Amino acid sequence: MIRTVDYHTAGEPFRIVTGGVEPLPGVRILDKRRYAAENVDHVRRLLVHEPRGHADMYGCFVTEPEDDGAHLGVVFFHNAGYSTACGHGTIALVTWAIESGLVEGPEVVVDVPSGRLPTVARIEEGRVVSVRFRNVPSFVHARDLEAAGHRVDVAFGGAFYASCPERVEPADLPRLIELGRAIKADLEADQEIVHPREPELRDVYGVIFWQEEGEDPLTQRNVTVFADGEVDRSPCGSGTSARLALLHDEGRLATGDPLLHRSIVGTEFTGRVAEESAEGVITEVEGSAHLTGRHEFVLQPDDDLGKGFLLR
């Protein structure tokens, strides 16, 4: 029996494993991430794949932090494996940690695979209304690369994202999913995309399709296609950091100015460049998460189909 608590952040699901899995060993979160991939990946498949999940499910294992400088750690998972960053998941995790009494808040520090994230929750009448996280340094990796017949920019916001201007409407999703897969494949075939300090932070995690929506404040609408054609219903938290790095580099967004980042379903994150550093810009992203349910999942011994499958 595996127990979970489910949230959504701006429409994007997040399944938090709260019982039935032994603690992940390892000193660093990257060590724990590696252990999860090698030893408990059957749990990821059980919770993400159908019939308990779906192709766009997201979740995490809660872990011990790397040291006493943080309150908790997290290993994120999705339909194709384990990500290095997840902004919407961080927002949901902190909301759950405070509302469940695991931590007091409102300031919560979380160790994620890409680094250590300070967060601040806004709490009203005992309920977490929103969470703002301060991300690891974000930076522009490359501009004007050709992939799948399109010109894209690549930036890091905890993971590497390619940005491509396109119309963003629900009716466009089948086309954008295939285009996102093609752009990701082309970039990874032609480019070595790796973090300058941490070799495990590498390759293109997602493709952000974006369109302009306003100037005061700067407003953009986006959809991120990541992992194996997975679609982010939220504005994508780490992707928002990548977009902030690009916009700041272009001179379109000054330090401290807000970006209103809308998702394909109309939900919103607010992001800003808080400061500049030698390694890139330090961004802050804020959004809200909501409890959707609690589950006890089982796998009967004779249920071969129940071990998981995916249909797009």
What b-and-e string marks burial along 223-247, b requiring 16 or more CB atoms within 10 Å of the CB? bbbbbebbbbbbbbbbbbbbbbbbb
Query: What DSSP state is assigned to residue 1?
Result: -
pLDDT at 307: 87
Q: How far apart, in whole angstroms, are the C-alpha atoms of residue 3 and residue 20?
A: 6
Rounded to a whole number of angstroms, the distance between the first and last alpha carbons of the chain is 27
Rounded Cα distance between 124 and 140, Å, is 37
For residue range 185-230, list pLDDT tens digits in order: 999 999 999 999 999 999 999 999 999 999 999 999 999 999 999 9
For 6-30, the pLDDT digits (tens) are 999 999 999 999 999 999 999 999 9
Residues comprising the chain, all counted = 312
pLDDT at 245: 98
Structure tokens at 1: 């029996």
201 within 8 A of 85, measured Cβ to Cβ:
no
Give the span between the Cα atoms of 83 and 53, in whole angstroms. Answer: 18
Query: pLDDT value at position 145?
Result: 97
Is the pLDDT at 312 greater than 90? The verdict is: no
Whole-number pLDDT of residue 37 = 98
- Give how far Cα 200 sits from Cα of 31, 142, 157, 232, 281, Å: 10, 19, 14, 23, 21
* 217 upstream amide cis, omega within 30 of 0: yes
- Which pLDDT value is given to residue 290? 98
Tokens of 176: 């954008």
Cα distance between residue 110 and residue 298, in whole Å = 29
60 is catalytic: no
What is the mean predicted confidence (pLDDT) over 259-285? Answer: 98
In angstroms, the CA 221 to CA 243 distance is: 11
- How do residues 55-107 score in pLDDT, each as one tens digit? 999 999 999 999 999 999 999 999 999 999 999 999 999 999 999 999 999 99
Of the residues 60, 86, 164, 236, only one is catalytic, namely 86
Q: Give percent of the chain with pLDDT exceeding 90.
A: 98
pLDDT at 249: 98
What's the CA dihedral at 192, 228, 61, 126 to 10 degrees?
Answer: 110
Nearest Cα neighbor of 46 from 294, 298, 228 is 298
